[in-house]
Amino acid sequence: TPLQTPEALPPTLAHGTRRRCWAPIRAGGLAPMGRTHIHLAAGLPGDPRVRSGMRPDSEIAIIIDGPRALAEGIPFFRSANGVILTPGDAEGRIPPKYFLRVLQLRPHR
């Protein structure tokens, strides 16, 4: 289902990943990594509204400025299982300028 207005987007859009992946993501943005779309969760782990969208082994969560990305032409969709999907920009990425913050989900070892 297309999410075409800022109000249609979840209040939190998060992409979970491993700490070791952060440096290349920070430099070049999020990419689909062999998938058709970039996968985002509609919240953080532990939120009862979040059924899917983030791997359980994620160590960090990158919070995305969905309204800004949408306003600047990046489309978003909600899949049947509640995952938020996007093809990204013209280069197939969510550039770092749309990253609001990064949260640590698991203690650093």
pTM beyond 0.85 = yes
How far apart CA 37 and CA 49 sit, in angstroms, is 21
Assess if residue 104 is contained within a domain: no
Domain count, the chain: 1
Would you state the pLDDT for residue 48?
74
Contact 73, 89 (CB under 8 A): yes
Would you state the pLDDT for residue 25?
98
Assess if residue 75 is contained within a domain: yes
Assess if residue 108 is contained within a domain: no
Assess if residue 103 is contained within a domain: no
Tell the burial category of 75 from Cβ atoms under 10 Å away from its Cβ (0-12, 13-18, 19+).
middle
Would you state the pLDDT for residue 53?
77
For every one of its 109 residues, what pLDDT tens digit does the chain have, with 9 covering 90 and above? Answer: 999 999 999 999 999 999 999 999 999 999 998 889 999 999 988 777 676 778 878 999 999 999 999 999 999 999 999 999 999 999 999 999 999 999 999 776 5
Would you state the pLDDT for residue 108?
63
Assess if residue 99 is contained within a domain: no
* Residue 43, domain extent: 2-94
The domain that contains 65 carries what CATH number? 3.20.170
Would you state the pLDDT for residue 24?
98
Distance of CA 41 to the CA centre of its chain: 6
Would you state the pLDDT for residue 109?
58
Assess if residue 46 is contained within a domain: yes
